[in-house]
Structure 1
């Protein structure tokens, strides 16, 4: 049995438009499916869990962006049952789709899912009882994600297919006031103390913030997270280096360090804001771990 979770407002209404494109194709196939439309925060997680536990669904297609992906996959994880996942992208950033090579064209993405030719098992990152699909971050980027989510300009830019610009505008806003902190990061038992840290990101895929490559070498099924730390950089230096993140060239900057590990813990002098897949969660201290190859997806 197939389930479909549609976020009609994702991408400023793109979700509903995409669903109207792919629904006739699903019906022509004659295969039974259950569809649910989200209407508020937490619905994707709740509805996917219900489809699995009450309707016996074994595969769920999400129609939406990264927030919908996060919700649906957490529902699958919490159901404690084996359920496959596919995505028809309809968000503003679509980092999950970019990171896994999922087609941006709705009918092509649907065809890939239904053909089941691109099946693979991927890792997830467990944090505070929930799973992150793309990345978790502490510090500057978490504050940027929070500001972006609350910004009026995000919806306006999404309307013109310029959603990635919302993140850039928020970066400029936050860099003027954010105060870097000293932190202690522990990766697989190795403790490192760092001063004037702007951000720490643990990533499952390279893609981040709607097109940036925060951890260019991240692989979603290698059993480890790639960790990027930015520290010891002035405000001007951070802004000057920022464009490099779109190509991954920031890896050569002297203020950027990379680590790899299955477990990462972060403590700071004072609490740091934290995000999981761009969604604000509880602040530091945090401890996260990689769950190896625990979800089947179609790409």
Structure 2
């Protein structure tokens, strides 16, 4: 049996429409399921826990965006339940990284074929995520974009991904860099003026912004991008536009690293966002959990 989580808020109602088509196909192919339409993480996890207590689940199906997916990753990984994603959000960075289909017909066909792959996850102080752990100005930008009035307006015309660049202009101009001590696999680093630290399991966030361009989801490594030292005009006018283009940047103010464990100690509380969930703290420990999740292959 399949447990289906649908976020009716995703994609201006697109998730609900996709579910209706998926439901028709599941009935047509005599594939049993139970579904919950909710944007509540608590309700979704309770729904799954109730099913786990009484049924054997073939997979958890998520129809929604990255936030909805991120809210289910923890339980799916801990219970070793395969996860299938039908993207319906404005960003869909997890689906982009795995080249997952947006077509409900192809999606159900892949469910019937049922091939899975083991993928890595990020573990931020016990919280699991599938895309990028972003700390600093990029997290502030993402938080501002997600709660902005213009994101809903852009979503209505299918341009929700532009909310991130819009939010960046204001956020960067008012953000104060922080001091940070990093330890990556016991190798120490220190920067007095740090703008952002992006720890990537996937290359992109914010609807396709490739801040960790060389990140892979199954290479057993975290790919880390740090923007530091630069003054505000340089960051705003030169470095950040290049980061948005998704290419490697050759600059003394951009450092690329890889590792399996990173500890981050800032001189103040900073915001970190993991799969859309905000966490405020001065200290974070991030570990790579290799092959921690079974992902159903629903690629095109």
TM-score (normalizing by structure 2): 0.93
Distance 1:253 1:151, change over 3 A: same
Q: How does 1:1-299 map to 2 (within 5 A)?
A: 1-77=1-77, 80-117=78-115, 119-240=116-237, 241-299=239-297
CA distance in 1 between partners of 2:202 and 2:258 (Å): 13
Shift >6 Å, 4+ stretches:
none
Residues 248-282 of structure 1 show CA distances to partners (whole Å, capped at 9, x for unaligned) of 22432332111111111111111111111122013
What SS is found at the alignment partner of 2:164?
helix
Aligned-pair distance for 1:153?
A: 1.3
Contact 1:48–1:72 (CA under 8 A) maintained in structure 2: no
CA distance in 2 between partners of 1:105 and 1:234 (Å): 45
Aligned-pair distance for 1:43?
A: 3.1
CA distance in 2 between partners of 1:105 and 1:252 (Å): 39
Distance 1:54 1:250, change over 3 A: same
Aligned-pair distance for 1:41?
A: 4.3
Residues 125-165 of structure 1 show CA distances to partners (whole Å, capped at 9, x for unaligned) of 11132101101121111111221222111111111111111
Contact 2:269–2:280 (CA under 8 A) maintained in structure 1: no
CA distance in 2 between partners of 1:48 and 1:199 (Å): 35
What SS is found at the alignment partner of 1:252?
coil
What SS is found at the alignment partner of 2:193?
strand
Gaps of 5+ in 2: none
Aligned-pair distance for 1:55?
A: 2.8
Gaps of 5+ in 1: none
What SS is found at the alignment partner of 2:174?
coil
Aligned-pair distance for 1:172?
A: 1.0
161-170 or 11-20, which deviates more: 11-20
Aligned-pair distance for 1:76?
A: 1.7
What SS is found at the alignment partner of 1:121?
strand
Residues 13-34 of structure 1 show CA distances to partners (whole Å, capped at 9, x for unaligned) of 2111211222111110101111
Contact 1:215–1:228 (CA under 8 A) maintained in structure 2: yes
Distance 1:111 1:284, change over 3 A: farther
CA distance in 1 between partners of 2:45 and 2:142 (Å): 21
In the comparison of the two structures, how many residue pairs are matched?
296
Contact 1:226–1:258 (CA under 8 A) maintained in structure 2: yes
TM-score (normalizing by structure 1): 0.93
CA distance in 1 between partners of 2:250 and 2:110 (Å): 36
Contact 2:90–2:161 (CA under 8 A) maintained in structure 1: yes
Contact 2:267–2:282 (CA under 8 A) maintained in structure 1: no
